[in-house]
A = this chain, B = another copy of it.
Amino acid sequence: MKMEIVFNKPYQTGQEFQNIQESLTSMCISGNGVFTKKCHAFFEREYGFAKVLLTSSCTDALEMAAILLNIGPGDEVIMPSYTFVSTANAFVLRGAKIVFADSRSDHPGIDEDAIEDLITPRTKAIVPVHYAGAACDMVKIMEIAHRHKIMVVEDAAQAIDSYCLDAEGKPKPLGSWGHLSAFSFHETKNIISGEGGMLVINDVSFIERAEIIWEKGTNRSQFFRGQVDKYGWVDIGSSFLPSDIIAAFLYAQLESINHIQNRRKEIWNLYYRHLLPLQEGGFLKLPSIPNFASNNAHMFYAVCNSLEQRTALISFLKMNGIIAVFHYQSLHRSQFHLSKNDDVYLPHADHYTDCLLRLPMFFELSNEDVHNVASAIKEFFDL
């Protein structure tokens, strides 16, 4: 029988359905309902976030951040090129010029040492992306931002339950560093709700306006708290809040977060152990977790030596019933960005675009599956 190992399988704890039943039975199905508030409380309690607001997607959370920072035409925003389109689009929608930084040589995350040279008087924000859930050097980035009076928005789409060591060497949750942060609960993430996201507000001066923007630019939250006697149009904004049905699903996942994370880390470590000989033999590179970062086991990737090698390896694995995939097409090389006549040379981002390979990685992946994937890769390299 031919092996079949898919790339991703969204995991359900079993409690999602009961929560949704509760949501439907209580007729609490529009935004900001009982489960939304439970999710908010969970994140504020467990990770010390000053304030969180669930959104329909991580894209939405990034768009809220762009609105909160009053990003407008002429403003510049610095971010890595090796990221998802939404990191950039959220700011482009407000008129920003995106200034792309290269990745680190040892990691797809932004090269922290490249940031300062890109800052101009028009720079409004830095958007580090914690690729694969491994922290960017937030001590360094926050210091640069502070010195230049620039805001920081963490794109923590993949970075739930991950940490960066602070100046005293204590782990501080990703998402709690920037003035604002955005998380994703898309079905490809560790903790999911189908589609879904969250804005984290650490700079408390943004909280009041964030609630307004979340509620379509109205002061509806103040109305429900009895602070105003009717609510109306006071700002720009959108309908960023998800149905409580989505929050009901998400809350089930949050209650099992330790269980989910522990198993994912086991899988990750098993991959690492199986594939280490390949790195030692120079066939490919395994993920390097910077010493200030934790590993939340969002993704297991390997970096091939060339595009041709990666293409051949993907085909070989597919022939063996294993789905492995490449990842981002660096945004500085996209049709959209090149149309702006803003060509830049970012060799590390180009390298990850061509050579990074993602292996199957999900909660229900068995140890045997991991063994089989690793064996197939070794076979490809004649080991």
Task: List residues of A whose CB falls within 8 A of some B CB.
Answer: 9-10, 12, 16-17, 20-21, 24, 27, 29-31, 56-60, 63, 73, 84-86, 88-90, 92-93, 95, 186-188, 192-196, 216-218, 230-239, 241-246, 249, 329, 331, 334-337
Contact = CB atoms under 8 A, between A and B. Distances in A.
A243 B31 contact: no
A17 B9 contact: no
A104 B126 CA distance: 49
A331 B233 contact: yes
27 contacts: A10-B27, A29-B187, A30-B188, A30-B195, A31-B194, A31-B195, A56-B239, A58-B239, A59-B216, A59-B239, A60-B238, A60-B239, A63-B238, A85-B217, A89-B233, A89-B237, A194-B245, A195-B239, A195-B241, A195-B243, A196-B243, A231-B329, A232-B334, A233-B329, A235-B336, A245-B246, A245-B249
Most B CB within 10 A of own CB, among A24, A245, A337: A245
B30 A334 contact: no
A336 B31 contact: no
Contact of A24 (B16, B60, B88): B16
A358 to B, nearest CB: 14
Contacts of A9: 27
B216 A85 contact: yes
Contacts of A10: 27, 29-30
A228 to B, nearest CB: 10
A95 to B, nearest CB: 8
A10 B17 CA distance: 20
Closest 6 CB pairs of A and B: A194-B243, A29-B194, A59-B239, A233-B334, A57-B239, A56-B56
A57 B215 CA distance: 12
